[in-house]
Amino acid sequence: MKTRIIKPLCMAIALLVGLTILWQAYTTFQARYLRPFDNQATLFDGSQLQLPPELAGPGPIRVVHFWDPACPCNVGNQQHLGDLVSQFASQGVTFHVLQKPDSHGQLPANLTALKPLASLPGSEHLPASPAVAIWDRQGHLAYFGPYSEGAVCNASNSFVEPIIKALLEDRPVQASNTLAIGCYCPW
């Protein structure tokens, strides 16, 4: 008689312990990696951005990635940026990175080709990151804003590929102010 009660009781306790462990794992994952999506629009105003003197003036198309190592929004963005480097570096586009002041971190291995910048005039007024600025061959700011709009960043919803392609074809682009909704962190 006791075994008929003990066996189901042990099964029920094991099931409760298993469910408790699964619930704890789920809540830990959710607290660490999931954030509510902020539906507030961010204005990216590039009117004060300038290339540093050593990069200013005529030259190759220059792409500057604004990077905050602590921003969880970089996760999807970094794969996309690596794809951009692979696609356009061989066509003469140079890629640079400006890390958020007073932050610490190291870019992933697929982004080691980005040339670090110590500073960029006007970057202290950035609203958010990740962001990108693109200068044309004449040294004029062609685009400043996010890589894409929405919760994820990839080539299918990117603003960047069409702009770089237009600049490579010597078509003028003037999009230095952008209003977008997406995953961004304050700069």
- Contact predicate 93/60, CB 8 Å: yes
Average pLDDT rounded to a whole number, residues 85-114: 93
pLDDT of residue 8: 85
Q: By the 8 A CB rule, do 52 and 121 touch?
A: yes
Residue type, 168: L
Each domain of the chain, given as residue ranges in start order, spans 1-34, 42-186
Please give the backbone phi and psi of residue 32, each rounded to the nearest 5 degrees, phi first: -85, -40
CA distance 117 to 110: 18
Q: Residues 6 or more apart from 45 whose CB is under 8 A from it?
A: 125, 127, 144, 176, 177
What is the torsional sign of CA 113, 131, 63, 152?
Answer: positive
Reference 132, options 53, 73, 59; nearest CA is: 73
Rounded average pLDDT over 35-41:
60
CA 7 and chain centroid, separation: 53
| pLDDT, tens digit, 9 for 90 and up, residues 112-165 | 899 999 999 999 988 888 899 999 999 999 999 888 876 666 666 788 999 999
Extract the tokens encoding 82: 């690596």
CATH number of 42-186: 3.40.30.10
Provide the pLDDT for residue 175. Answer: 87
pTM above 0.85, yes or no: no
